[in-house]
């Protein structure tokens, strides 16, 4: 039995002396507000539940300090707390996959986004190299808590720090979608500039290779 979500939970608790109720509340907050692997709450719940029903675990957990009995008890308490929080709120942001990637590359340019180091930038850490993209672009397609759907498109590393925020028509006004993006995607407003504004006046308006925006 591969543990998946459970391993992510344990990475977050490996430096905790006790798997007490306060720690369980902290992890439930993460599951609800910062989902592991961009999974839904239902998927995370199911992963924990499956681990609990498995008689044996294949994962080597010797790297973390808690014994299996303590871990299983902690996981049961996580499920109890999650059950108590039903109905679960929609997460602030969720990755959707790359089914419409080519459409987004030719969609509406809403803004340019300046990325930071992935270690310091949760948005940048979400980006993945898009399978089959001829330019090896990196990106993520997001459904925001507002209901808006957008794509962040960036060039490949090591120089891929100038990204763009794209949308598909029909969509709300650019200002409304940008506001929602800043609110839900944990991206500071001073890193998001509509075309021809802010830091772009000084630096020009770079586009990732292969991105050809449609008219707004």
Domain boundaries, the chain: 5-84, 93-203
pLDDT band at 70 (very low <50, low <70, confident <90, very high): very high
Gap between the terminal Cα atoms of the chain: 49
pTM above 0.75, yes or no: no
pLDDT band at 165 (very low <50, low <70, confident <90, very high): very high
pLDDT value for 90: 80
pLDDT value for 91: 81
Alpha-carbon distance of 199 to 26, in angstroms, equals 38
Q: What are 13-18's contacts with CB under 8 Å, separation 24+? A: 13/64, 13/66, 13/74, 14/63, 14/64, 14/65
Alpha-carbon distance of 8 to 95, in angstroms, equals 18
C-alpha 11: how far from chain center? 17
Alpha-carbon distance of 175 to 182, in angstroms, equals 11
pLDDT value for 142: 96
pLDDT value for 205: 64
Give the CA count within 13 Å in the CB-facing half-sphere of 103.
11
Instruction: Assess contact for 164 and 208: CB atoms under 8 A.
Output: yes
Q: What are 196-203's contacts with CB under 8 Å, separation 24+? A: 199/114, 200/112
Residue 206 has pLDDT above 50, yes or no: yes
Instruction: Assess contact for 57 and 51: CB atoms under 8 A.
Output: yes
Question: CB neighbours of 158 closer than 8 A, spacing ≥ 6?
Answer: none
Residue 38 has pLDDT above 80, yes or no: no
Residue 203 has pLDDT above 60, yes or no: no
pLDDT value for 201: 45
Tokens of 191: 């890193």
pLDDT value for 204: 56
Residue bearing the bigger pLDDT, 40 or 71: 71
pLDDT band at 119 (very low <50, low <70, confident <90, very high): confident
């Amino acid at each position: 039995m591969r543990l998946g979500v459970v391993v992510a939970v344990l990475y977050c608790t490996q430096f905790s002396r006790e798997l007490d109720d306060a720690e369980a509340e902290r992890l439930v907050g993460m599951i609800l507000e910062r989902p592991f692997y961009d999974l839904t709450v239902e998927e995370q719940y199911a992963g924990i539940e499956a681990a609990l029903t498995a008689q044996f675990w294949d994962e080597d957990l010797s790297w973390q300090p808690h014994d299996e009995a303590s871990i299983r008890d902690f996981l049961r308490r996580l499920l109890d707390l999650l059950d108590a929080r039903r109905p679960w709120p929609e997460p602030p942001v969720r990755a959707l996959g790359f089914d419409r990637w080519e459409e987004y590359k030719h969609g509406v340019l809403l803004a340019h986004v300046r990325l930071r180091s992935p270690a310091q930038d949760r948005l940048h850490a979400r980006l993945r190299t898009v399978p089959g993209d001829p330019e090896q672009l990196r990106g993520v397609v997001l459904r925001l808590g507002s209901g808006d759907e957008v794509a962040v498109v960036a060039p490949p590393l090591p120089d891929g720090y100038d990204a763009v925020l794209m949308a598909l028509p029909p969509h709300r006004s650019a200002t409304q979608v940008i506001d929602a993006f800043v609110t839900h995607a944990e991206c500071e407003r001073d890193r998001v500039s509509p075309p021809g504004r802010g830091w772009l006046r000084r630096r020009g308006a770079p586009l990732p290779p292969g991105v050809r925006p449609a008219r707004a």
